[in-house]
Amino acid sequence: MIALIPVKPFGVAKRRLSSRFDPAQRKVLGQAIAGHTATVAAAAGIEPWIVTGSEDVARWAGERGLTVVAEDEGGGLDGAARAGISAASGRWMVVHADLPAVVPADLAALVDAGPTAIAPSHDGGTSAVTGESATFPFAYGPGSFHRHLSARPNMTVVCRPGLAYDLDDTQDYDIITALESGRWIGDVT
């Protein structure tokens, strides 16, 4: 299985954390969390691939020996996910790069759930989805969990704390750093 991890440019990502962290800190945080997600995928026996349109992110991934897939220009998260599954053959997982509390057991639970599974985020989004076909009706954004599940109602739903909290804003940061598996990000910035 391939874990497709879409990663935005590090200097642009995490703007909603700007009230607490300056751009340099947000870049370090973004790199640390994306690296964490890739490391967790590998520890779960899933090959991590970085999907990005950023030369900086591609260079960062290459320095770590990670496979890089070029994201379609202007396609956003949907386009990145489509580019990733087009490059992968066989079973795949699209997992958000900003899941600092994710642990190998979380991703293993998705793998074990069957050929197609989905993990909701606490705010109604989609943190991860698995599949086997070269197409999937990606529709990320607010409420994406229900759109994805409506499009593929036979997916197994996997709810786990490490998959529930993606780092979008300072409230998420406070919740994640209170979780045992997410405390490490408090030492990053």
Is pLDDT larger for residue 177 or for residue 103? Answer: 103
pLDDT of 85 over the 90 cut:
yes
Q: SS3 sequence, the chain? A: CEEEEECCCCCCCCHHHCCCCCHHHHHHHHHHHHHHHHHHHHHCCCEEEEEECCHHHHHHHHHCCCEEEECCCCCHHHHHHHHHHHHCCCCEEEECCCCCCCCHHHHHHHHHCCCCEEEECCCCCEEEEEECCCCCCCCCCCCHHHHHHHHCCCCEECCCHHHHCCCCCHHHHHHHHHCHHHHHHHHCC
- Model pTM score: 0.93
Identify the band that residue 11 occupies on the pLDDT scale cut at 50, 70 and 90. Answer: low
Q: How far is CA 25 from CA 32, 56, 147, in A?
A: 10, 16, 34
Average pLDDT of the chain, as a whole number:
92
pLDDT of 188 over the 80 cut:
yes
10-19, 80-89, 173-182: least confident range: 10-19
Identify the band that residue 185 occupies on the pLDDT scale cut at 50, 70 and 90. Answer: confident
Tell me what pLDDT residue 14 has.
Answer: 65
Q: Give the residue-averaged pLDDT of 146-162.
A: 96
Tell me what pLDDT residue 13 has.
Answer: 60
Do 103 and 147 touch, CB atoms closer than 8 A? no
Distance CA 97, CA 36 (A): 8
Tokens 């985020």 belong to residue: 121
17-26, 44-53, 114-123, 158-167: least confident range: 17-26
Distance CA 8, CA 90 (A): 25
| 3-36 residues labelled b (16+ CB within 10 A) or e (exposed) | bbbbbbebeebbeebeeebeeeebbebbbbbbbb
Go through the domains of the chain in sequence order and give each one's CATH number: 2-187 (3.90.550.10)
